[in-house]
Amino acid sequence: MTARLFGTDGVRGVAGRDLTAELAMELSVAAAHVLGDAGAFAGSAGDMADDMAGVGAAGSAAGRGRPVAVVGRDPRASGEFLEAAVVAGLASSGVDVLRLGVLPTPAVAYLTAALGADLGVMLSASHNPAPDNGIKFLAKGGYKLPDTVENEIEERLGERWERPAGSGVGRVHEAYGEADRYIAHLLTTLPVRLEGINVIVDCANGAAHTVAPEALVRAGATVEAIGARPDGLNINAGYGSTHLDRLQQVVVSRGADLGVAYDGDADRCLAVTHEGEIVDGDQIMAILALAMHAKKELVKDTVVATVMSNLGFKIAMRGAGLNVIETAVGDRYVLEAMKAGGYNLGGEQSGHVLLLDHATTGDGLLTSLHLIAEVARQGRSLAELASVMTRLPQVLINVKGVDKAKAAASPDLAAAIGRAEAELGETGRVLIRPSGTEPMIRVMVEASSEIMAHEIAERLAETVRATCS
């Protein structure tokens, strides 16, 4: 683990080594007490009775005045012992727990809000391989905890907290039927039915392996699922949004209209056209932005993206009279900018798309439903819709083993960047970005041709090695 436990997406590490059962329990105990001390649980649980009517035994916990947490996970084998540790930590701290079982991260976020829970916990390492896992805490309402709260949880790990006893301890209930509530919510957001659309869905052997095919079928699409047989060890292995080759092959061989792929916890989505071409997060945002703008649904005619979004996306948005606000890389920062400005569409090239009219976080299934809905509504292929923007060739080089602090202070690097920008003019750009977690500097160049992008990126990478070693 790094010096700071919490990264941009919770706490992550190799389960059983970095992220142990002991650490998971300590984190959940600290989270319960920090949030309780901050008044985040004020007025909790007692007003949940009506919302909890369909959760069976959980309804009996709702009238006792204890806070309530919902806990979900992806199918990783390590999620079983980590879930047990988190549940034990919360219940021993006086928090009633609803175990949601295997569900996508956005489903847990939605249910945190829909069930009126005081806290949500998701166990997942997203697109990482099976040995990794993570813990993400969600505040009441389903939003990620602020950095300040995460910092306090980390600082107070291991404190000797006063624990409740007797009737003060939390109770644990299973609420495995709540997936249907999430699916029903998604379907209410669709502008049209998806009849006549043939979709291949790649679930990454992850958290969406049941809910995604079911939601698409209930929306009217004809669906074939791949990567939908998780065994606890095969999540993201050869399937999902980071491994699109198989989806591309299946879409073309089946003659499907399109394909969609999620990552392990289904908070992101990428797509594939009927010709097998990849449609990335920038293109998905462009399609949705233009559709929302045409329907007068795009707040302030603005989309929030990160500095890594392709210049072609920004050119297309400007050409349509839309504004683009840029943030640092990470859906956390996109969300912060969206909330601050009141915007309702944002995302990342990686496929994290935030539709804040309907969700509190990136939701791959929601994104795919709305993308397919535009294919159905407009009667055009995904390839046609994606042509609204032209991706400029983009080259990314990770320069490892360097001193990140030297980058900003190097006059030689600044001069090299200036020369590159002058050479590119209005048809490209340069981005030099230190990694937030590793001794590495990322060199990204976009240009009008692949050859030019490679040449400039290699020159800049050599300058970084020479000046920052």
Query: Which residue in 189, 181, 140 sits closest to 358, CA to CA?
Result: 189
- Name the 3-class secondary structure at 258: strand
Which positions make up the binding site for Mg(2+)? 126, 263, 265, 267
Q: Is the pLDDT of residue 3 over 80?
A: no
d(CA 365, CA 107): 10
* CATH code, 455: 3.30.310.50
Q: 343 and 422 share a domain? A: no
Examine the domain organization and report whether 314 and 329 are in the same domain: yes
The pLDDT tens digits of the residues spanning 262-296 come to 999 999 999 999 999 999 999 999 999 999 999 99
In a domain, 2, yes or no: no
User: Is 449 part of a structural domain of the chain?
Assistant: yes
Q: What's the pLDDT score for residue 53?
A: 40
The amino acid that residue 84 corresponds to is: A
CA distance 91 to 93: 5
Q: Which residue has the higher pLDDT, 204 or 38?
A: 204
Domain annotation covers residue 238: yes
Query: Tokens 């919902």 map to which residue?
Result: 70
Please count the structural domains in the chain: 3
* 56 domain residue, yes or no: no
Domain stops at, among 141, 176, 211: 176
The answer to whether the CB of 224 falls within 8 A of the CB of 201 is yes
The pLDDT-based confidence of 34 (bands split at 50, 70, 90) is very high
Let me know whether 241 and 307 are in one domain. Answer: yes
Q: Same structural domain for residues 285 and 354?
A: yes
Which of 154, 176, 198 delimits the end of a domain? 176
Catalytic residues: 126
Q: Are residues 119 and 72 in the same domain?
A: yes
pLDDT for the residue 405 = 86
Residue 48 has pLDDT above 90, yes or no: no
- Provide the CB-side half-sphere exposure for 318 (13 A, CA): 7
**Same domain? 294 vs 184:** yes
Q: Which two tokens stand for residue 222?
A: 């004809």
- Of 191-205, 257-271, 403-417, least confident by mean pLDDT is 403-417
Mean pLDDT, rounded, for 128-142: 97
- Rounded CA-CA distance 184/391 in Å is 35
Question: Per the domain annotation, does 418 fall within a domain?
Answer: yes
In terms of domains, do 275 and 370 share one? yes
CATH of the domain at 189: 3.40.120.10
4 in a domain, yes or no? Answer: no
Q: Indicate if the pLDDT at residue 47 is higher than 60.
A: no
Domain match, 332 and 297 both: yes
Alpha carbons 315 and 334: distance in angstroms, whole number: 19
Which pLDDT score is estimated for 318?
Answer: 96
274 three-state secondary structure: coil
Annotated binding site: 126, 263, 265, 267
The residue from 155, 176, 197 where one domain ends is: 176
Provide the pLDDT for residue 43: 59
Categorize the per-residue pLDDT at 52 as very low, low, confident or very high, splitting at 50, 70 and 90: very low
Structural domain harbouring 153: 11-45+65-176
Looking at residue 37, its pLDDT comes to 84
pLDDT in tens, 104-120: 999 999 999 999 999 99
First vs last C-alpha separation in the chain: 24
What does DSSP say about strands 429-434 and 440-446: parallel, antiparallel, or unpaired? antiparallel
State the chain's mean pLDDT as an integer: 93
- Contact (CB, 8 A) for 392 and 447: yes
Predicted TM-score (pTM) of this structure: 0.91
Do 422 and 374 lie in one domain? The reply is: no
> 96 and 187: one domain?
no
